Amino acid sequence: MAENQDSAAFLNGSAMKPDAFDGTKSKYIAWKTQMKLYVVTQRKRLPEQFDRVLMILSYMKEGHAGEYIATYMKKYDTDEDAVIQTTNDLWKDLDIHFLIDEQAEAYDRLQAMQMGALSAQEFFSKFELCAFQANIHNFEAHFQELKSLLEKALWADIIWLLYNSSEELPATYALYKQRIARIDLNQQQYHRRNPQPQRQGQFQPRQQQAQKTPVVPTTNAFTPLALLQEAPAATAEPFNWKTAIREEIRAAMKGFASGQPGV
């Protein structure tokens, strides 16, 4: 019984009346959805498109919505045929006026987007959804603009590999996306085989760590180490103890004979 009453209320338009819209853009989507559902309930009562347009406008009050109504009525008073006549055209015009910030906000998110820990495939899915929300639907037509945004968002090592490859640079969005995905996949496989603490933002080829050599102290930092090496022992003359003793005795005897101590 209650279900039948709800259905009857829906059909005769006594249910789901929308709130008035004051032009606040953050409220527009919710109000538009609510208003469209309400229009469905009024089809029998308002079969003419223009009557439905006037009904929608009657729920726009105050603020920027009030300004929109005032402009519409001025045109209507001047020329009834010059104003919007169908609900489809009305929603398109309202979107232009009240969805601008939504699109601008989406474009701001697009500009600030970073790849982070996402794979290329995951990142492009997120990037393209945000581009749609920013009213960018033809990616090929906007390729240069999107490429500029992508090269700020993608990892620097991916961009380095893209521009330093022997292959020609991709000339379309589809080819660019495909090449980036391939580079990223190769990078992921490389990092799995060669684990690093964290992925670097700037590409640096892995280098072999130089072996450390012990520091040899020298008496002069500017003297080559080879010049400080001792001469081989075999080149020095052997010390003759007997000859030395004879020289000492001979010197002592000379001093004794002359009355002078030996030197």
The pLDDT tens digits for 114-156 are 999 999 999 999 999 999 999 999 999 999 999 999 999 999 9
Q: What integer pLDDT is reported at residue 209 of this predicted model?
A: 35
Q: What integer pLDDT is reported at residue 220 of this predicted model?
A: 34
Q: Residues in the chain with pLDDT < 50? A: 1-3, 5-6, 10, 200-237, 262-263
The domains of the chain are located at: 25-98, 102-193
| Cα separation, 226 vs 63, whole angstroms | 90
Cβ-contact 42, 53 below 8 angstroms: no
